C-alpha cells in the first residue's frame, strides 16, 4: 500500500497527473502551414493546458470538455495553421514549463505570464494583458484598501507562477518599509486555495484578475484590489519556427477582427503591441 502512495506522490511532482487528452482533426483540403521539423509530431500540435481557472481555461462540469477563452484562442490559431491538436490536461502548473523543455508538448496554452526569467529558456508570444487581484471572503473587501494591508496576514497563492513571485516581491518591499512579514501559503490547486479562503485558513488570495473575477461571480469571494503588477500573458513554445508561425497567425487574426471578437466576448484586455517571438537568442 505504501508503495502506491509514495509512487503517486513522487511522480505527481515530476510530470503531473495526465487526466486525458483530446485530439482534433482538420479538414482534408487545408495545407499544413508549419514545417514538420518544428513539431514533435508532424502535422500535430501537442498543447498543454492547466484547466483550473474559469473562465479562461477550465473543464465543463457537465460535459467534461475543455472550455474557456484560451481554448478558443488556441483552437482558432491552430485551425488557421491546419494543424491537428492534441490537448493534454495538466493538473500542476509547476510542471508545465519543465514538460515543455523535456519535449512533452509543443505549446503551453494556459496564460503564462511573460517574464525575463522565462524568456531565457523558452519562446513566448505575448497576446494579452493581465494583472493580479486580491480576493477576500465576501464582506471582507473593506479590510484591504492598499497592498500594505496584506502585511502580517496569511495570503494564499498558487505555486510556480507569476503571482507567487510578485507576492514574494511585495513581501520584501513591505518588510523593507518595516511592516510585518506576509505568511505565504502556497497551493498546487486554485480550488483548494479558495476553499482555504472560505474556511478561514487564509485571509486573502493573490490570483490573476480573471480567476478572482470568476470566483467572485460565483459568490465564493470578493475582489478587494486589482490591477496589481500588470504584465503581459503569453503562449509558450519550445521551437522558434512554430512560435513565429503562431505570432504571424495572431497578426492576421487581429487584422480580420477575429482576435478582438474573442477578447470582447470575455471582457479581457488584449495585447496592444506587435505579435512577436521573444526567447533565448532573440
Partner 1 sequence: MTMWSWSAFFEYLFSPFLLYGAWTTIWLTVVSALLGLMLGGVVAAARMSGIGWLEKVAFFYVWLMRGTPLLVQLVIIYTGLPQIGIKFEVVTCALLGLALNEAAYLSEIIRGAVQSVGIGQRNAATALGLTKFQAMRDVILPQATRVMLPMLGNSVNGLLKTTSLTSAISMEELLRRTNLLIQERFLTLELFIVASIYYLVMTSAWSLVQNWLERRFGRGFEEEARLENAEQR
Per CB under 8 A, 200 contacts partner 1: yes
Q: Cα(142)–Cα(232) distance, rounded to whole angstroms?
A: 29
Least distance CB 136 / partner 1 (angstroms): 16
Least distance CB 3 / partner 1 (angstroms): 7
Query: Residue 3: how many CA atoms within 13 Å on its side-chain side?
Result: 0
Q: Number of residues in contact with partner 1, rule: CB under 8 A?
A: 35
Choices 137-145, 188-196, 223-231, 265-273; region in contact with partner 1 by CB under 8 A = 188-196
Within 219-278, which residues bind partner 1 (CB under 8 A)? Answer: 238
Q: List the x/- string, 201-230, binding to partner 1 by CB under 8 A.
A: x-----------------------------
Q: List the x/- string, 30-69, binding to partner 1 by CB under 8 A.
A: ----------------------------------------
Q: What residues does 52 pair with on adjacent strands?
A: 58
Per CB under 8 A, 102 contacts partner 1: yes
Closest CA to 250 of 269, 270, 230, 223: 270
Least distance CB 153 / partner 1 (angstroms): 14
Q: Cα(114)–Cα(52) distance, rounded to whole angstroms?
A: 19
Q: Cα(205)–Cα(134) distance, rounded to whole angstroms?
A: 6
Alpha helices in the chain (DSSP H): 2-14, 69-80, 96-101, 116-119, 162-176, 190-199, 209-217, 240-256, 258-266
**DSSP string of 194-239, one letter each residue:** HHHHHHTSSSEEEEEHHHHHHHHHTTS-EEEEEEEEEEEEEEEES-
Given the complex with partner 1, which of 95 and 244 has the nearer CB atom?
95
Least distance CB 244 / partner 1 (angstroms): 18
| Single residue of 24, 72, 153, 195 touching partner 1 by CB under 8 A | 195
Phi-psi region of 229 (alpha: psi -120 to 50; beta: other; left: phi over 0): left
3-state secondary structure of 184: strand
Choices 26-34, 96-104, 221-229, 259-267; region in contact with partner 1 by CB under 8 A = 96-104
CA 201, 204, 208, 213 dihedral sign is positive
Quickly tell me which residue has 487574426 as its cell: 253
Least distance CB 111 / partner 1 (angstroms): 16
Choices 20-28, 70-78, 158-166, 263-271; region in contact with partner 1 by CB under 8 A = 158-166
Instruction: By CB under 8 A, name the binding residues for partner 1.
Output: 1-3, 5-6, 9-10, 13-14, 94, 97-98, 101-103, 117, 121, 156, 159-161, 164, 185-189, 192, 195-196, 198-201, 238
Amino acid at each position: 500500500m505504501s508503495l502506491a502512495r509514495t509512487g503517486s506522490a513522487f511522480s505527481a511532482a515530476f510530470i503531473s497527473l495526465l487526466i486525458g487528452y483530446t485530439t482534433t482533426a482538420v479538414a482534408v483540403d487545408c495545407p499544413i502551414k508549419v514545417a514538420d521539423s518544428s513539431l514533435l509530431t508532424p502535422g500535430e500540435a501537442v498543447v498543454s493546458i492547466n484547466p483550473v481557472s474559469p473562465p479562461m481555461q477550465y473543464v465543463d462540469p457537465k460535459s467534461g470538455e475543455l472550455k474557456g477563452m484560451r481554448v478558443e484562442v488556441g483552437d482558432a490559431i491552430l485551425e488557421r495553421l491546419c494543424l491537428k491538436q492534441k490537448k493534454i490536461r495538466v493538473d500542476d502548473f509547476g510542471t508545465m514549463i519543465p514538460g515543455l523543455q523535456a519535449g512533452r508538448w509543443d505549446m503551453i496554452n494556459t496564460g503564462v505570464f511573460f517574464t525575463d526569467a522565462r524568456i531565457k529558456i523558452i519562446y513566448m508570444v505575448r497576446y494579452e494583458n493581465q494583472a493580479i487581484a486580491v480576493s477576500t471572503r465576501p464582506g471582507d473587501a473593506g479590510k484591504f484598501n492598499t497592498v500594505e494591508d496584506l502585511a502580517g496576514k496569511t495570503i494564499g497563492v498558487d505555486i510556480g507562477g507569476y503571482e507567487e513571485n510578485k507576492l514574494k516581491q511585495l513581501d520584501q518591499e513591505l518588510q523593507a518599509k518595516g511592516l510585518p512579514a506576509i505568511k505565504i501559503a502556497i497551493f498546487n490547486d486554485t480550488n483548494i486555495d479558495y476553499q482555504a479562503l472560505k474556511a478561514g485558513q487564509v485571509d486573502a488570495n493573490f490570483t490573476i484578475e480573471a480567476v478572482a473575477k470568476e470566483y467572485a461571480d460565483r459568490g465564493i469571494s470578493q475582489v478587494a484590489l486589482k490591477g496589481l503588477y500588470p504584465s503581459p500573458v503569453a503562449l509558450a513554445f519550445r521551437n522558434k519556427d512554430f512560435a513565429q508561425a503562431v505570432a504571424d497567425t495572431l497578426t492576421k487574426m487581429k487584422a480580420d477582427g477575429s482576435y478582438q471578437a474573442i477578447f470582447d466576448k470575455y471582457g479581457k484586455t488584449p495585447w496592444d503591441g506587435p505579435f512577436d517571438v521573444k526567447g533565448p537568442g532573440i
